[in-house]
């Protein structure tokens, strides 16, 4: 389960950033997780519960925002929805689509005190 190492890194970044900015407690964390990122939100939540204990994010809430898959179709010349990695353009059916969204995992923001 790679979600455990991902969440360990998220907690480390959140706690380090909070401390660097003079905070002693993290109240909430919001993550953006793309639907094409191969990261399971439920697994992230489970891992979050395990790794936050004993840190300044011990009582922080976690919100996970799902980001839809999108790509730029080189043949149609427009942004299209993507349901899968390396998927075909839903309009023309060709596979010349460059993914532009949906594979991210990033910390959107956090609230500290």
92 annotated as ligand-binding: yes
Q: For the whole model, what pTM was predicted?
A: 0.87
Per-residue pLDDT of the chain (113 residues; tens, 9 = 90+): 589 999 999 999 999 999 999 999 999 999 999 999 999 999 999 999 999 999 999 999 999 999 999 999 999 999 999 999 999 999 999 999 999 999 999 999 999 99
Sheet holding 105-112, edge to edge: 61-67, 26-34, 105-112
Output the domain CATH number for residue 100.
3.30.2320.80
73 annotated as ligand-binding: yes
Domain count, the chain: 1
Spatial separation of the C-alpha atoms in residues 110 and 113, rounded to whole Å: 10
Tokens 């109240």 appear where?
27
Structural domain harbouring 83:
1-112
**For residues 106 and 29, is the Cβ–Cβ distance under 8 A?**
no
15 annotated as ligand-binding: no
């Amino acid at each position: 389960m790679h979600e455990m190492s991902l969440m360990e890194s998220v907690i480390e970044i959140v706690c380090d950033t909070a401390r660097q900015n003079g905070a002693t407690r993290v109240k909430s964390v919001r993550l953006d997780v793309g639907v094409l990122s191969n990261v399971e939100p439920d697994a992230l939540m489970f891992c979050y519960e395990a790794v936050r204990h004993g840190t300044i994010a011990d009582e922080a809430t976690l919100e996970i925002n799902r980001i839809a898959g999108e790509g730029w179709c080189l043949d149609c010349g427009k942004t299209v929805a993507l349901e899968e990695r390396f998927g075909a353009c839903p309009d023309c059916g060709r596979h010349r689509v460059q993914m532009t969204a949906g594979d991210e995992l990033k910390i959107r923001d956090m609230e500290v005190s």
